[in-house]
């Protein structure tokens, strides 16, 4: 009787011990799998970033840890794009700035210097000319402008990089623009720049060097949430358990855009606010797209931009209101390469440069 009692009593202990052992093993597997996932997606985000680059973009660019990338110095490319049916001429100077203009880093005493930061609507990589160069020529021919600045010459430096967004303008300003002793800063943006995350381009030699920046979004994920992820992977369909870290859910952390409008607006407005605090003499122009000119804006970008405008403590200048607007939709078509390309045409850049010149003179 006594022997039987001890045997019977040992059964719960064995069950408990086995249960704890199995649970411990599972926890080790689960935690190890979470570490694996984090590393896997960390590497994936770099691959995703590189895969968004076209061969043409890579060939004209050099990786830069601070700016994301910069254009190669002294480029001189000229070709006809058969898909977009437009002539393209790209010229960079000795600083790798997209411009035909030559200048020194040190500013002469008689020079008023304007720095312009923007995306492809300012870099104009689908054109034969840059509106920043045109602006410089127009300002230098204006006696009213020369009297206003009390200088004999104006230089307009183009720091724009195609594909970048507002969050990247901050790095461009503090790591590049600020080094050129500018008197006036112009930020020229389109509304969807608010949604764009930091973007790298060019041959990335040391991938570990940029992981910390690219992984900023991934680090927001709670990788050790109480959830049976391993069971969900192996038997999710059978037990009706969804994966917490499925590729579909993680994909939103790997894309070119911020995951939420709120996140985009907050981070982008802070990026601009830091620039303004450093350089109060900053003008922010909103470059209209063709869709906006015909009053059919892309609604997907509107909410993030509205929030950005709400959070930003600075005036936004909507160039749609400054352009020579008519009711002739055919005229707007001449201003853009639409519908094969959404960027301004050479003719449109001339119109835009003239409008910027008028605004600067009359402000």
In terms of Cβ atoms closer than 10 Å to its own Cβ (0-12, 13-18, 19+), residue 104 is exposed
* Residue range 300-353, pLDDT digits in tens: 889 999 999 999 999 999 999 998 766 567 788 899 999 999 999 999 999 999
Task: Kindly state whether residues 357 and 340 are assigned to the same domain.
Answer: yes
Residue holding tokens 């304007």?
A: 114
Task: Kindly state whether residues 143 and 231 are assigned to the same domain.
Answer: no
What pLDDT does residue 271 have?
A: 98
Task: Kindly state whether residues 44 and 107 are assigned to the same domain.
Answer: no
Structure tokens at 66: 């601070």
* Residue range 125-150, pLDDT digits in tens: 999 999 999 999 999 999 999 999 99
pLDDT of residue 289 exceeding 70? yes
Task: Kindly state whether residues 174 and 275 are assigned to the same domain.
Answer: yes
| Domain annotation covers residue 212 | no
Measured CA to CA, the distance from residue 161 to residue 95 in angstroms comes to 13
* Residue range 241-251, pLDDT digits in tens: 999 988 878 87
Task: Kindly state whether residues 157 and 294 are assigned to the same domain.
Answer: yes
- Residue 92 sits in a domain whose CATH number is 3.40.50.1110
What pLDDT does residue 149 have?
A: 97
The answer to whether 287 touches 335, Cβ cutoff 8 Å, is no
Task: Kindly state whether residues 126 and 198 are assigned to the same domain.
Answer: yes
Task: Kindly state whether residues 24 and 57 are assigned to the same domain.
Answer: no
pLDDT of residue 46 exceeding 70? no
Total structural domains in the chain? 2
| Domain annotation covers residue 211 | no
What pLDDT does residue 1 have?
A: 45
Task: Kindly state whether residues 237 and 283 are assigned to the same domain.
Answer: no
Residue span of the structural domain in which 92 resides: 52-204+258-362
Measured CA to CA, the distance from residue 38 to residue 20 in angstroms comes to 27
* Residue range 77-94, pLDDT digits in tens: 999 999 999 999 999 999
pLDDT of residue 2 exceeding 50? no
Task: Kindly state whether residues 60 and 43 are assigned to the same domain.
Answer: no
Compute CA distances 19 → 23, 51, 56, whole Å. Answer: 6, 46, 59
């Amino acid at each position: 009787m006594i022997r039987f009692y001890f045997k019977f009593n040992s059964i719960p202990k064995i069950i408990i011990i086995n249960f704890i052992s199995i649970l411990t093993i599972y926890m080790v597997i689960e935690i190890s799998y979470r570490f694996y996932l984090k590393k896997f997606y960390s590497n994936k985000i770099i691959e995703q970033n590189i895969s968004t680059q076209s061969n043409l973009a890579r060939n004209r660019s050099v990786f830069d840890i601070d700016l994301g990338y910069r254009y190669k110095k002294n480029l001189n490319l000229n070709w006809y794009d058969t898909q977009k049916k437009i002539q393209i001429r790209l010229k960079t100077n000795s600083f790798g700035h997209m411009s035909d203009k030559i200048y020194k880093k040190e500013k002469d005493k008689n020079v008023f210097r304007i720095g312009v930061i923007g995306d492809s609507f300012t870099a104009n990589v689908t054109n034969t000319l840059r509106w920043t160069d045109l602006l410089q020529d127009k300002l230098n021919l204006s006696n009213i402008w020369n009297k206003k600045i009390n200088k004999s010459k104006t230089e307009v430096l183009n720091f724009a990089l195609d594909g970048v967004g507002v969050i990247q303008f901050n790095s461009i300003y503090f790591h590049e623009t600020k080094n050129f002793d500018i008197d006036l800063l112009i930020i020229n943006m389109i509304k969807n720049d608010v949604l764009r995350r930091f973007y790298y381009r060019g041959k990335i030699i040391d991938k570990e060097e940029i992981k910390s920046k690219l992984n900023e979004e991934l680090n927001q994920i709670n990788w050790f949430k109480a959830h049976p992820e391993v069971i969900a992977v192996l038997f999710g369909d059978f037990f009706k358990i969804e994966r917490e870290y499925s590729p579909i859910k993680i994909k939103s952390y790997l894309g070119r855009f911020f995951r939420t409008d709120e996140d985009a607006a907050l981070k982008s407005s802070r990026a601009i606010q830091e620039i303004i605090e450093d350089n109060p003499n900053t003008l922010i122009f909103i470059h209209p797209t063709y869709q906006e000119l015909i009053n059919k804006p892309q609604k997907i970008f509107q909410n993030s931009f509205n929030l950005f405008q709400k959070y930003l403590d600075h005036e936004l200048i909507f160039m749609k209101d400054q352009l020579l607007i008519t009711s002739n939709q055919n005229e707007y078509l001449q201003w853009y390469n639409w519908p094969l390309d959404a960027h301004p045409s050479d003719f449109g850049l001339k119109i835009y440069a003239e409008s910027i010149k008028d605004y600067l003179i009359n402000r």
